[in-house]
Structure 1
Amino acid sequence: MILMQSVIHVRPGKMTAMFDIIRDRLVPILQDGAGWRLMGCYEQRVGRLNTIVDLWELDDYAHFSNAFAAYRADPDYPALRAMIDDCVEQETLTFLEKRF
């Protein structure tokens, strides 16, 4: 098992839209369809404003690659990508392995 942390810097005024995209569009594809497990979706309150942090549990690195390929193959991908691009300034993915 690995964790993937997604830190999303959202354009001002787009936080609600981005939360809607995550909940209504990405979770059905990545969790329900591809088997990723969303551990939580958080809004950062101190530090950089307009930042979302998601934590996902995955089986392994291949689980990431396979799910991401399925996501890009989804017929809605081009429209969804445009919606995300409208909201997101920057996204950083970090993989975490539990040590103890």
Structure 2
Amino acid sequence: MRIKKGDKVKVIAGAYKGTVAEVKQAFPREGKVIVEGVNMVKKHMKPTQANPDGGIIEKEAKIDVSNVMAYDEKAKTASRVGYKFVENKDGSQTKVRYYKKSGNIIKD
């Protein structure tokens, strides 16, 4: 999975199509992500000591990673993500993620 926590993504399918937001959490084994403000669901909560009133809360639910694309803020466009090796000053190489459309390196 090429999308990580903290990445800006654009939703490319579903009811929230076109939304640009940040990934709050990633689940690589499931191939799903939680995106801020996307796929909001209502959850009925029982009263507990932490939440004595209980009630209905709204929270983000997981969406499939195939429904989002990495968003390049510099180029203002969504792009696929690739990997390449970049040479450091001391001659060693580091594996980095980059946007395939613009070639910009993603800061991790």
Quick check: which one's helix share is greater? 1
Which TM class, normalised by the smaller chain length? under 0.3
Taking structure 2 as the reference length, the TM-score comes to: 0.20
Q: Which has the higher contact order (CA 8 A, sep 6+)?
A: 1
Quick check: which one's strand share is greater? 2
